[in-house]
Amino acid sequence: MSQRKAYHEPYSEKTGIQILEEDKSNQALAGIRSQVEAGNVTWDVVDMLQADAQRACDEGLLEEIPFDQLATAPDGTPAADDFIEGTTGDCFVPQILYATMFAYNTKAYPDGGPKTVADIWDVEKFPGTRSFEKIPQKNLEWALIADGVDPAEVYDVLATQEGQDRAFAKLDELKDHIIWWDAGAQPPQMLADGEANIVTAYNGRIFNAQVNEGQPFEIMWDGQMFEVDGWVVPVDTGQFEEIMDYLKFATDTQRLADQAKWISYAPARNSSVDLVGNLWKEEGGKAVETDIDMKPHMPTSPENFQNAIQFNTDFWADYGDALEERFNAWLNS
Protein backbone atom coordinates (compact mmCIF):
# COMPACT_ATOMS: atom_id res chain seq x y z
CA MET A 1 0.00 0.00 0.00
CA SER A 2 2.85 2.41 0.77
CA GLN A 3 4.05 2.29 -2.85
CA ARG A 4 0.55 2.81 -4.17
CA LYS A 5 -0.04 5.83 -1.96
CA ALA A 6 3.37 7.45 -2.42
CA TYR A 7 4.15 6.64 -6.06
CA HIS A 8 1.46 5.03 -8.18
CA GLU A 9 -1.61 7.11 -7.37
CA PRO A 10 0.19 10.50 -7.52
CA TYR A 11 1.84 9.52 -10.83
CA SER A 12 -1.51 8.51 -12.29
CA GLU A 13 -3.03 11.79 -11.14
CA LYS A 14 -0.18 13.71 -12.78
CA THR A 15 -0.01 11.84 -16.08
CA GLY A 16 -3.28 9.98 -16.52
CA ILE A 17 -1.30 6.75 -16.88
CA GLN A 18 -2.75 3.88 -14.87
CA ILE A 19 -0.28 1.75 -12.91
CA LEU A 20 -1.18 -1.95 -12.87
CA GLU A 21 0.21 -3.94 -9.95
CA GLU A 22 1.04 -7.62 -9.67
CA ASP A 23 1.97 -8.88 -6.22
CA LYS A 24 4.76 -11.21 -7.36
CA SER A 25 7.77 -9.77 -5.51
CA ASN A 26 8.72 -13.17 -4.11
CA GLN A 27 8.96 -14.42 -7.70
CA ALA A 28 10.70 -11.36 -9.11
CA LEU A 29 14.01 -12.87 -10.22
CA ALA A 30 12.52 -16.09 -11.58
CA GLY A 31 9.72 -14.16 -13.25
CA ILE A 32 12.03 -11.76 -15.06
CA ARG A 33 14.29 -14.61 -16.13
CA SER A 34 11.44 -16.63 -17.61
CA GLN A 35 9.89 -13.62 -19.36
CA VAL A 36 13.17 -12.54 -20.93
CA GLU A 37 14.06 -16.08 -22.03
CA ALA A 38 10.60 -16.51 -23.56
CA GLY A 39 10.83 -13.17 -25.37
CA ASN A 40 7.59 -12.05 -23.74
CA VAL A 41 8.36 -9.35 -21.17
CA THR A 42 5.16 -8.13 -19.51
CA TRP A 43 6.61 -6.40 -16.43
CA ASP A 44 7.87 -2.84 -16.96
CA VAL A 45 9.36 -2.09 -13.56
CA VAL A 46 9.94 -4.57 -10.74
CA ASP A 47 10.39 -4.18 -6.98
CA MET A 48 13.42 -6.27 -5.98
CA LEU A 49 16.01 -6.73 -3.26
CA GLN A 50 19.47 -5.40 -4.04
CA ALA A 51 21.14 -8.82 -3.98
CA ASP A 52 18.65 -10.30 -6.45
CA ALA A 53 18.97 -7.21 -8.63
CA GLN A 54 22.74 -7.64 -8.83
CA ARG A 55 22.31 -11.28 -9.83
CA ALA A 56 19.76 -10.39 -12.52
CA CYS A 57 21.99 -7.58 -13.78
CA ASP A 58 24.96 -9.95 -14.03
CA GLU A 59 22.80 -12.34 -16.07
CA GLY A 60 21.94 -9.57 -18.54
CA LEU A 61 18.25 -9.57 -17.62
CA LEU A 62 18.03 -5.89 -16.69
CA GLU A 63 18.53 -2.49 -18.26
CA GLU A 64 21.33 -0.32 -16.93
CA ILE A 65 19.91 2.76 -15.22
CA PRO A 66 21.04 6.22 -16.42
CA PHE A 67 21.13 7.92 -13.03
CA ASP A 68 21.64 11.31 -14.65
CA GLN A 69 18.02 11.07 -15.84
CA LEU A 70 16.67 10.77 -12.30
CA ALA A 71 15.56 13.79 -10.29
CA THR A 72 18.22 15.79 -8.49
CA ALA A 73 17.91 16.60 -4.80
CA PRO A 74 16.31 19.96 -3.91
CA ASP A 75 19.78 21.47 -3.48
CA GLY A 76 20.87 20.25 -6.91
CA THR A 77 22.83 17.20 -5.76
CA PRO A 78 22.76 14.57 -8.54
CA ALA A 79 20.62 11.55 -7.74
CA ALA A 80 23.61 9.19 -7.88
CA ASP A 81 25.27 11.19 -5.08
CA ASP A 82 22.07 11.65 -3.07
CA PHE A 83 21.30 7.97 -2.60
CA ILE A 84 22.82 6.53 0.57
CA GLU A 85 26.31 5.22 -0.10
CA GLY A 86 26.45 1.60 -1.18
CA THR A 87 22.78 1.32 -2.10
CA THR A 88 22.84 1.85 -5.88
CA GLY A 89 23.73 -0.62 -8.62
CA ASP A 90 24.24 -0.47 -12.36
CA CYS A 91 20.72 -1.83 -12.86
CA PHE A 92 19.19 -0.91 -9.50
CA VAL A 93 17.50 2.24 -8.19
CA PRO A 94 17.17 2.07 -4.40
CA GLN A 95 13.85 2.85 -2.81
CA ILE A 96 13.80 1.91 0.88
CA LEU A 97 16.06 0.57 3.61
CA TYR A 98 14.86 -1.79 6.30
CA ALA A 99 16.79 -3.10 9.27
CA THR A 100 17.23 -6.16 11.41
CA MET A 101 18.16 -5.08 14.90
CA PHE A 102 17.70 -5.84 18.59
CA ALA A 103 14.56 -4.99 20.53
CA TYR A 104 13.51 -5.55 24.12
CA ASN A 105 10.51 -5.37 26.40
CA THR A 106 10.90 -2.31 28.64
CA LYS A 107 8.98 -4.05 31.43
CA ALA A 108 11.89 -6.48 31.75
CA TYR A 109 14.36 -3.63 32.30
CA PRO A 110 12.65 -0.82 34.23
CA ASP A 111 16.01 0.85 34.92
CA GLY A 112 16.91 0.95 31.22
CA GLY A 113 17.64 -1.65 28.59
CA PRO A 114 20.74 -2.53 26.57
CA LYS A 115 22.40 0.25 24.58
CA THR A 116 25.09 -1.60 22.62
CA VAL A 117 25.58 -4.96 20.95
CA ALA A 118 28.05 -5.84 23.71
CA ASP A 119 25.24 -5.31 26.24
CA ILE A 120 23.28 -8.13 24.61
CA TRP A 121 25.99 -10.51 25.81
CA ASP A 122 25.91 -9.09 29.36
CA VAL A 123 23.49 -11.53 30.99
CA GLU A 124 24.26 -10.29 34.49
CA LYS A 125 23.30 -6.69 33.81
CA PHE A 126 20.51 -7.65 31.41
CA PRO A 127 19.25 -11.08 32.48
CA GLY A 128 16.74 -13.16 30.61
CA THR A 129 16.28 -15.14 27.43
CA ARG A 130 17.33 -13.81 24.05
CA SER A 131 15.76 -14.93 20.77
CA PHE A 132 17.80 -14.83 17.56
CA GLU A 133 16.91 -15.90 14.04
CA LYS A 134 18.05 -19.46 13.39
CA ILE A 135 20.63 -18.59 10.74
CA PRO A 136 24.33 -17.67 10.82
CA GLN A 137 23.79 -14.45 8.88
CA LYS A 138 23.89 -11.37 11.11
CA ASN A 139 24.41 -13.44 14.26
CA LEU A 140 28.08 -13.98 13.40
CA GLU A 141 28.54 -10.32 12.56
CA TRP A 142 26.98 -9.25 15.86
CA ALA A 143 29.09 -11.76 17.77
CA LEU A 144 32.25 -10.13 16.41
CA ILE A 145 30.98 -6.65 17.23
CA ALA A 146 30.19 -7.80 20.77
CA ASP A 147 33.76 -9.09 20.93
CA GLY A 148 35.15 -5.67 20.06
CA VAL A 149 35.51 -5.74 16.27
CA ASP A 150 34.87 -2.40 14.57
CA PRO A 151 31.65 -2.63 12.50
CA ALA A 152 33.54 -1.38 9.45
CA GLU A 153 35.93 -4.34 9.71
CA VAL A 154 33.45 -7.10 10.48
CA TYR A 155 33.41 -8.74 7.06
CA ASP A 156 37.18 -8.58 6.67
CA VAL A 157 37.54 -10.37 10.00
CA LEU A 158 34.75 -12.85 9.30
CA ALA A 159 36.46 -13.82 6.04
CA THR A 160 39.34 -15.35 8.02
CA GLN A 161 39.42 -18.68 9.84
CA GLU A 162 40.50 -16.88 12.99
CA GLY A 163 37.57 -14.48 12.71
CA GLN A 164 35.08 -17.29 12.20
CA ASP A 165 36.45 -19.14 15.21
CA ARG A 166 36.19 -15.95 17.22
CA ALA A 167 32.55 -15.39 16.21
CA PHE A 168 31.49 -18.91 17.14
CA ALA A 169 33.36 -18.70 20.44
CA LYS A 170 31.45 -15.51 21.25
CA LEU A 171 28.14 -17.15 20.36
CA ASP A 172 29.12 -20.00 22.68
CA GLU A 173 29.10 -17.53 25.58
CA LEU A 174 25.43 -16.75 24.98
CA LYS A 175 24.18 -20.09 23.65
CA ASP A 176 22.47 -21.22 26.85
CA HIS A 177 20.47 -17.97 26.92
CA ILE A 178 19.20 -18.14 23.31
CA ILE A 179 16.01 -19.55 21.85
CA TRP A 180 15.55 -19.40 18.09
CA TRP A 181 12.98 -18.00 15.69
CA ASP A 182 12.43 -18.68 12.00
CA ALA A 183 9.45 -16.47 11.08
CA GLY A 184 9.33 -12.68 11.24
CA ALA A 185 6.09 -12.62 13.25
CA GLN A 186 7.63 -14.56 16.13
CA PRO A 187 9.96 -12.00 17.82
CA PRO A 188 7.29 -9.43 18.79
CA GLN A 189 5.04 -12.24 19.98
CA MET A 190 7.88 -13.68 22.08
CA LEU A 191 8.42 -10.29 23.69
CA ALA A 192 4.71 -9.86 24.36
CA ASP A 193 4.38 -13.33 25.87
CA GLY A 194 7.48 -12.96 28.04
CA GLU A 195 9.12 -15.88 26.26
CA ALA A 196 12.14 -13.66 25.59
CA ASN A 197 13.28 -10.31 26.98
CA ILE A 198 15.50 -9.42 24.03
CA VAL A 199 15.06 -10.39 20.37
CA THR A 200 16.49 -9.77 16.97
CA ALA A 201 13.70 -8.57 14.68
CA TYR A 202 12.75 -6.60 11.59
CA ASN A 203 12.22 -2.96 12.47
CA GLY A 204 8.81 -2.85 10.78
CA ARG A 205 7.50 -5.71 12.92
CA ILE A 206 8.50 -3.99 16.16
CA PHE A 207 7.11 -0.65 14.97
CA ASN A 208 3.74 -2.25 14.22
CA ALA A 209 3.65 -3.85 17.67
CA GLN A 210 4.49 -0.51 19.30
CA VAL A 211 1.99 1.56 17.34
CA ASN A 212 -0.88 -0.78 16.51
CA GLU A 213 -0.80 -2.91 19.66
CA GLY A 214 0.62 -0.47 22.20
CA GLN A 215 3.36 -2.88 23.22
CA PRO A 216 6.09 -1.54 25.57
CA PHE A 217 8.92 -2.45 23.22
CA GLU A 218 12.09 -0.49 22.54
CA ILE A 219 14.39 -0.79 19.54
CA MET A 220 18.12 -0.78 20.15
CA TRP A 221 19.59 0.63 16.95
CA ASP A 222 23.27 0.05 17.73
CA GLY A 223 24.65 -2.43 15.20
CA GLN A 224 21.50 -2.49 13.10
CA MET A 225 22.01 -4.40 9.84
CA PHE A 226 20.20 -2.82 6.92
CA GLU A 227 19.19 -4.14 3.52
CA VAL A 228 17.93 -2.31 0.45
CA ASP A 229 14.85 -2.71 -1.70
CA GLY A 230 14.40 -0.89 -4.99
CA TRP A 231 13.43 -0.83 -8.66
CA VAL A 232 14.76 -2.67 -11.70
CA VAL A 233 13.72 -2.60 -15.35
CA PRO A 234 13.74 -5.84 -17.37
CA VAL A 235 15.33 -5.74 -20.82
CA ASP A 236 13.12 -5.72 -23.91
CA THR A 237 10.13 -3.88 -22.46
CA GLY A 238 9.95 -1.69 -25.54
CA GLN A 239 9.20 1.45 -23.52
CA PHE A 240 12.29 2.29 -21.54
CA GLU A 241 11.82 6.05 -21.99
CA GLU A 242 8.35 5.94 -20.47
CA ILE A 243 9.56 3.75 -17.62
CA MET A 244 12.35 6.19 -16.82
CA ASP A 245 9.77 8.97 -16.57
CA TYR A 246 7.98 6.95 -13.89
CA LEU A 247 11.24 6.17 -12.06
CA LYS A 248 12.25 9.84 -12.12
CA PHE A 249 8.96 10.66 -10.40
CA ALA A 250 8.84 7.70 -8.00
CA THR A 251 12.40 8.10 -6.72
CA ASP A 252 12.52 11.85 -6.24
CA THR A 253 13.16 13.29 -2.80
CA GLN A 254 9.54 13.98 -1.87
CA ARG A 255 8.10 10.70 -3.17
CA LEU A 256 10.53 8.62 -1.14
CA ALA A 257 9.78 10.70 1.96
CA ASP A 258 6.07 10.20 1.31
CA GLN A 259 6.40 6.42 1.37
CA ALA A 260 7.73 6.69 4.93
CA LYS A 261 4.34 8.12 5.94
CA TRP A 262 2.90 4.65 5.51
CA ILE A 263 5.64 2.28 6.61
CA SER A 264 8.61 2.43 8.99
CA TYR A 265 11.16 1.73 6.27
CA ALA A 266 13.54 4.54 5.45
CA PRO A 267 13.84 6.46 2.18
CA ALA A 268 17.05 5.65 0.33
CA ARG A 269 17.89 9.29 -0.47
CA ASN A 270 19.74 11.45 2.03
CA SER A 271 17.65 14.48 1.07
CA SER A 272 14.42 12.65 1.95
CA VAL A 273 15.16 12.04 5.63
CA ASP A 274 14.32 15.55 6.84
CA LEU A 275 11.04 15.51 4.89
CA VAL A 276 9.66 12.42 6.62
CA GLY A 277 6.48 13.43 8.45
CA ASN A 278 3.79 11.79 10.55
CA LEU A 279 2.35 8.33 10.12
CA TRP A 280 -0.72 8.07 7.91
CA LYS A 281 -3.32 5.30 8.10
CA GLU A 282 -6.28 4.33 5.98
CA GLU A 283 -9.51 4.34 7.98
CA GLY A 284 -12.90 3.82 6.42
CA GLY A 285 -11.43 4.18 2.95
CA LYS A 286 -9.87 7.55 3.78
CA ALA A 287 -6.27 8.54 4.43
CA VAL A 288 -5.90 9.90 7.96
CA GLU A 289 -2.82 11.59 9.44
CA THR A 290 -1.87 10.52 12.97
CA ASP A 291 0.25 12.41 15.49
CA ILE A 292 3.07 9.83 15.35
CA ASP A 293 6.30 11.35 14.05
CA MET A 294 7.96 8.78 11.79
CA LYS A 295 11.47 10.27 11.88
CA PRO A 296 12.56 8.53 15.13
CA HIS A 297 11.44 5.22 13.65
CA MET A 298 13.54 5.48 10.49
CA PRO A 299 16.64 3.23 10.31
CA THR A 300 18.46 6.13 8.61
CA SER A 301 17.65 8.84 11.15
CA PRO A 302 21.06 10.18 12.26
CA GLU A 303 20.70 8.99 15.85
CA ASN A 304 19.78 5.46 14.63
CA PHE A 305 22.29 5.14 11.79
CA GLN A 306 25.56 5.85 13.60
CA ASN A 307 26.75 2.24 13.87
CA ALA A 308 24.69 0.73 11.07
CA ILE A 309 26.11 -2.05 8.92
CA GLN A 310 25.00 -2.83 5.39
CA PHE A 311 24.36 -6.56 5.14
CA ASN A 312 27.01 -7.86 2.74
CA THR A 313 25.33 -10.19 0.27
CA ASP A 314 28.56 -10.72 -1.68
CA PHE A 315 30.27 -12.05 1.45
CA TRP A 316 27.47 -14.50 2.14
CA ALA A 317 27.41 -15.65 -1.48
CA ASP A 318 31.08 -16.61 -1.08
CA TYR A 319 31.10 -17.99 2.47
CA GLY A 320 27.47 -18.86 3.15
CA ASP A 321 27.51 -22.59 2.45
CA ALA A 322 30.48 -23.30 4.70
CA LEU A 323 29.27 -21.06 7.51
CA GLU A 324 25.73 -22.44 7.38
CA GLU A 325 27.12 -25.97 7.67
CA ARG A 326 29.25 -24.96 10.64
CA PHE A 327 26.36 -23.05 12.25
CA ASN A 328 24.01 -26.02 12.00
CA ALA A 329 26.66 -28.29 13.50
CA TRP A 330 27.19 -25.74 16.29
CA LEU A 331 23.45 -25.66 17.02
CA ASN A 332 23.42 -29.41 17.48
CA SER A 333 26.59 -29.61 19.55
User: Residue 287: its pLDDT value, please?
Assistant: 86
CA-angle at 279, arms to 277 and 281, nearest 5°: 140
Which amino acid appears at position 126 of this protein? F
Spell out the SS3 assignment of the chain: CHHHHHHHHHHHHHHCCCCCCCCCHHHHHHHHHHHHHHCCCCCCCEEEEHHHHHHHHHCCCECCCCHHHCCCCCCCCCHHHHECCCCCECCEEEEEEEEEEEEEEHHHCCCCCCCCHHHHCCCCCCCCCEEEECCCCCHHHHHHHHCCCCHHHHHHHHCCHHHHHHHHHHHHHHHHHEEEECCCCHHHHHHHHCCCCEEEEEHHHHHHHHHHHCCCEEEEEEEEEEEEEEEECECCCCCHHHHHHHHHHHCCHHHHHHHCCCCCCEECEHHHHHHCCEEEEEECCEEEEEEEECHHHCCCCCCCCCCCEECCHHHHHHHHHHHHHHHHHHHCC
User: Residue 23: its pLDDT value, please?
Assistant: 80
Does the predicted TM-score (pTM) go above 0.85?
yes
User: Residue 221: its pLDDT value, please?
Assistant: 98
- N-to-C CA span, the chain: 44
**According to CATH, where is 3.40.190.10 located in the chain?**
2-97+229-277, 98-226+306-331
**Which phi-psi region, left, alpha or beta, contains residue 194 (left: φ > 0; alpha: ψ -120 to 50)?**
left
Which amino acid appears at position 88 of this protein? T
Fold classified for 98-226+306-331: D-Maltodextrin-Binding Protein; domain 2 (3.40.190)
> Which region among 1-10, 27-36, 93-102, 293-302 has the lowest average model confidence (pLDDT)?
1-10
% of the chain surpassing 70 pLDDT: 99
CATH 3.40.190.10 fits 2-97+229-277, yes or no: yes
In tens, the pLDDT along 91-133 reads 999 999 999 999 999 999 999 999 999 999 999 999 999 999 9
User: Residue 15: its pLDDT value, please?
Assistant: 92
User: Residue 27: its pLDDT value, please?
Assistant: 82
In tens, the pLDDT along 138-168 reads 999 999 999 999 999 999 999 999 999 999 9
Give the CA radius of gyration of the chain: 21
Dihedral sign, Cα of residue 60, residue 62, residue 68, residue 74: negative
208 band by pLDDT with thresholds 50, 70 and 90: very high
CB atoms within 10 A of CB 147: 18
Dist. CA 219–CA 162, nearest whole Å: 31
319 burial (CB, 10 Å; 0-12 / 13-18 / 19+) is: middle
The answer on pLDDT for 178 being more than 90 is yes
Over range 228-244, report the average pLDDT: 96
User: Residue 25: its pLDDT value, please?
Assistant: 63
